[in-house]
């Protein structure tokens, strides 16, 4: 099936119009991946009008654990410094695009009479580094032949002429599309792969997706424009469905994208049935994984907020699984699909202990390498339960409190953790959680890390709304369990 690579340039355009970090390009990349996008595209221009050098590196770091699952495509002209940037990042693909001074967006493909010396050295250097090279061309036989002579692995067909023809009606669309069919057929016969992009959208994609030999489409402007009104995750799903001929089904689906593990059930200490979602560590080697003689993975237990459920963690379980960790997210008693009473907060401490015991007893896991992550009520429960679970070598608290509806914690409890690692996060606008975090961090029996968010949010909402908090947590888990 034709792959979708989402161009996130427009997210950076909006951010740069105001300055600062909002909207976050990294958060946009995560939303696309969570919705199933198999590719991300950026075009860092010389004037940094949207994607910056820092963005290119940041996205590369974000996608590194997903290598082989999500492709990274960097577009650009062979200007001084561009080749160095691409070689430093080593994306899956580099698409070389001609740039005219003053252009707002790409206006044409490489002319067939482009001097070979302009690109041959660049193409060779990229391919020697293991980077697939695509050349942006018009759907003309001479341009396809030229791309083949340059040694390109693929061509990206410039589709704005098709998009304009599609707007004029079926006859114009059909005549234009015929040129692309001929170009794709020629490329295929020459052994050159076929990508396409520029002004493709949900309407004209209904025809263009039928192009023979089409490997990938890169779509940004139309996708991001629609996302402003209905949400990025939903729109990515719409485009994936359009490519898979399932558009109607996705238009009817309005639910949020959630991580997909394996449902499990376990018993709490008093027999209450607890539901959970189990994510076994990715089988492929993780770039972060320790070089241990055993293949067993560390474990992470996720404990949600009051009145929430195991789905509250969004894409975090999948991200941790892809990094080489085995994860269990539970529904506390009386929440989600678990039995029992949601009012019995003291009994929830044994829910967490039982879940920890179940998790570290799974095959192929490191029983002595457990991290417990809790949010709000879950933070209190994580702390109380971990004090009785010596295998919990790392504890993370999102929006902690000294007292939660009768459940009390204090600095003496932190001291009982001894040398175990503790990570905490609170919003600067959440004074109770902030004060608790400061008090806990002052206890120095072991490593204590604190993260203050400038975003007004509480518990797991900090992870949703503040990319820095999410990155800090993931980085801490990597250091605590994988290094």
- Answer for the pair 140, 183: CB distance below 8 angstroms, yes or no: yes
Long-range contacts of 20-24 (CB under 8 A, 24+ apart): 21/467, 24/467
Sorted by sequence, the CB contacts under 8 Å of residue 154 that are 6+ apart come out as 93, 132, 133, 134, 135, 192, 193, 194, 195, 215
Q: Please spell the DSSP secondary structure of 380-423, one letter per residue.
A: HHHHHHHTT-TTEEEEEEES--SEETTEE--HHHHHHTTTSEEE
Catalytic residues, by residue number, are 43, 75, 198
Give the Cα separation of 446 and 448 in Å (integer): 6
Please check whether residue 141 is in contact with residue 183, taking contact to mean a CB–CB distance below 8 angstroms: yes
State phi, psi for 394 to the nearest 5 degrees: -145, 135
| Cβ within 8 Å of residue 205, ≥6 positions away | 217, 239, 242, 243
How far is Cα 442 from Cα 65, in angstroms, rounded to an integer?
34
159: cis peptide before it, omega within 30°? no
Other CB atoms within a 10 A radius of the CB of residue 5 amount to 26
Count of Cβ atoms closer than 10 Å to residue 88 Cβ: 12
SS3 state of residue 59: helix
CB 221 within 8 A of CB 50: no
Q: CA angle, corner 60, sides to 57 and 65, nearest 5?
A: 145
3-state SS class at 434: helix
């Amino acid at each position: 099936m034709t792959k979708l690579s989402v161009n996130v340039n427009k997210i950076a355009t909006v951010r740069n119009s105001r300055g600062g970090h909002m909207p976050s390009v990294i958060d946009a990349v995560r939303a696309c991946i969570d919705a199933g996008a198999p590719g991300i595209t950026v075009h860092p221009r010389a004037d940094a009008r949207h994607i910056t050098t820092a963005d290119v590196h940041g996205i590369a770091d974000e996608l590194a654990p997903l290598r082989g699952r999500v492709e990274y495509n960097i577009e650009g002209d062979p200007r001084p410094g561009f080749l160095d940037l691409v070689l430093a990042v080593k994306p899956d693909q580099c698409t070389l695009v001609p740039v005219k001074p003053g252009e707002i967006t790409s206006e044409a493909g490489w002319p067939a009479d482009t001097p070979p010396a302009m690109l041959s050295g660049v193409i060779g250097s990229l391919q020697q580094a293991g980077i697939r090279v695509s050349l942006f061309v018009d759907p003309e036989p001479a341009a396809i032949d030229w791309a083949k002579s340059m040694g390109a692995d693929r061509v990206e067909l410039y589709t704005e002429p098709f998009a304009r023809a599609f707007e004029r009606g079926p006859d114009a669309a059909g005549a234009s599309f015929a040129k692309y069919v001929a170009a794709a057929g020629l490329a295929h016969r020459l052994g050159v792969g076929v990508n396409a992009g520029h002004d493709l959208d949900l309407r004209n994609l209904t025809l263009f997706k039928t192009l023979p030999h089409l490997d990938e489409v890169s779509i940004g402007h139309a996708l991001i424009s629609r996302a402003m009104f209905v949400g990025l995750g939903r729109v990515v799903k719409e485009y994936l469905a359009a490519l898979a001929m399932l558009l109607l089904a996705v238009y009817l689906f309005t639910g949020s994208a959630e991580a997909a593990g394996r449902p499990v059930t376990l018993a709490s200490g008093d027999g209450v049935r607890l539901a959970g979602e189990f994510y076994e560590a990715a089988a492929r080697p993780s770039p972060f994984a320790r070089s241990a003689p055993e293949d067993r993975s560390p474990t992470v237990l996720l404990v949600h907020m009051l009145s929430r459920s195991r789905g509250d963690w969004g894409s975090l379980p999948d991200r941790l699984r892809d990094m080489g960790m085995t994860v269990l997210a539970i529904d506390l008693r009386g929440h989600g699909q678990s039995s029992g009473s949601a009012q019995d907060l003291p009994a929830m401490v044994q829910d967490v202990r039982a879940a920890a015991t179940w998790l570290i007893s799974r095959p192929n896991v490191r029983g002595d390498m457990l991290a417990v992550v809790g949010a709000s009520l879950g933070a209190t429960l994580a702390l109380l339960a971990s004090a009785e679970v010596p295998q919990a070598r790392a504890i993370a608290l999102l929006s902690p409190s000294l007292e939660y509806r009768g459940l009390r914690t204090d600095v003496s409890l932190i001291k009982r953790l001894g040398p175990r690692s503790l990570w905490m996060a609170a919003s600067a606008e959440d004074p109770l959680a902030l004060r608790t975090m400061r008090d806990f961090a002052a206890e120095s029996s072991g490593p204590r890390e604190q993260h203050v968010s400038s975003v007004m949010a509480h518990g797991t909402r900090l992870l949703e709304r503040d990319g820095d908090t999410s990155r800090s947590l993931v980085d801490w888990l990597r250091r605590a369990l994988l290094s």
